[in-house]
């Protein structure tokens, strides 16, 4: 507001007052513990000279770039902040490595030199994710079922933060919510990571068998950074094939690659 006001008042006398603008503050929403992240702050000085770029986490300054200083970059230590000073500039700051306490609100503030001292700032929230140490696991299943048999299975995730979201599918269709049993995620270890459990309980009906097979699939996700599927295929009793209990992982590797692309830079 101040900026526009000044322009209005001074416009007639001087026409060299310009407004600096932040064009983009890029803070990835989700990053991965142990990885690095690049936070970007792009601005247009509109002819003004840059005085400083300051970065804040949760209101506390941790990095400052002042072109007049030698060296121009300086770091103010705080928990969860490991600045890679050599690779940080007036338009980016690299944090490497990230830990859980790196989660928070990151603000970039850009100021112009005297006499205008114009200052603009913007922010973004970042959450550091701990990926599950194991794929989702299905237990309690029998190799073969007959019509009328009860199915009682659990899907259990690896330890993560935040908790993994689990969902059941029967033959590729989302399981009816009435068949799903929810449990609170439980917390273990000094790092207080969470394990999710989701039950599935129903009685086998003829419609559950597609060409003699019934597929139970458990999908585990954390926002857009993690996506894994575990699938068990069971046979109907009337089929004459040997009993099988398959535990397959579908689309594993291609999806896992996405995980690594999300950290900002690797």
Ligand X SMILES: *[C@@H]1O[C@H](CO)[C@@H](O)[C@H](O)[C@H]1NC(C)=O
- The residue ranges that bind ligand X (CB under 6 A) are 86-87, 139-140, 152-154, 183, 197, 199
Which of 113, 91, 122, 92 minimizes the C-alpha distance to 18? 113
Give least dist CB 68 to ligand X, A. Answer: 23
Handedness of CA 233, 142, 136, 156 (dihedral sign): positive
Cβ-based nearer residue to ligand X, 80 or 199: 199
> What does the alpha-carbon distance between residue 85 and residue 82 come to, in Å, rounded to a whole number?
9
Cβ-based nearer residue to ligand X, 36 or 53: 36
Rg of the chain in Å (alpha carbons)? 27
Give least dist CB 184 to ligand X, A. Answer: 9
Which of 250, 147, 165, 170 minimizes the C-alpha distance to 216? 170
Residue pair 153/214 in contact (Cβ under 8 Å)? The answer is: no
Cβ-based nearer residue to ligand X, 49 or 245: 245
Give least dist CB 33 to ligand X, A. Answer: 18
Give least dist CB 225 to ligand X, A. Answer: 20
Reduce the DSSP state of residue 252 to 3 states and report it. Answer: helix
Cβ-based nearer residue to ligand X, 20 or 138: 138
Q: Which residue has the tokens 């899907």?
A: 155
- Position closest to ligand X via CB: 140
Cβ-based nearer residue to ligand X, 37 or 130: 37
Give least dist CB 194 to ligand X, A. Answer: 13
Would strands 30-32 and 119-129 be described as parallel, antiparallel, or unpaired?
Answer: parallel
């Amino acid at each position: 507001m101040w900026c526009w006001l000044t322009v209005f008042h001074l416009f007639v006398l001087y026409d060299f007052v310009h407004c600096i603008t932040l064009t983009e503050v890029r803070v990835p929403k989700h990053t991965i513990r142990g990885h690095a992240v690049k936070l970007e702050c792009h601005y247009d000085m509109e002819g003004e000279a840059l005085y400083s770029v300051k970065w804040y986490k949760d209101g506390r300054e941790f990095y400052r770039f002042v072109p007049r200083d030698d060296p121009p970059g300086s770091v103010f230590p705080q928990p969860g902040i490991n600045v890679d000073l050599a690779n940080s500039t007036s338009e980016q700051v690299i944090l490497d490595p990230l830990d859980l306490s790196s989660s928070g609100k990151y603000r970039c503030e850009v100021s112009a030199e005297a006499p205008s001292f114009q200052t603009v700032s913007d922010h973004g929230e970042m959450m550091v994710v701990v990926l599950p140490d194991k794929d989702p696991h299905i237990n309690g299943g029998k190799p073969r079922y007959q019509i009328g048999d009860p199915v009682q299975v659990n899907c259990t995730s690896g330890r993560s933060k935040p908790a993994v979201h689990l969902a059941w599918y029967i033959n590729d269709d989302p399981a009816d919510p009435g068949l799903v049993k929810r449990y609170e995620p439980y917390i273990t270890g000094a790092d207080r990571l969470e394990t999710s459990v989701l039950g599935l309980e129903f009685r086998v009906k003829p419609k559950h068998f597609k060409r003699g097979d019934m597929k139970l699939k458990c999908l585990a996700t954390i926002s857009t950074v993690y996506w894994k599927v575990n699938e068990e295929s069971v046979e109907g009793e009337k089929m004459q094939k040997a009993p099988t209990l398959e535990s397959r992982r579908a689309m594993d590797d291609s999806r896992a690659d996405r995980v690594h692309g999300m950290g900002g830079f690797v």
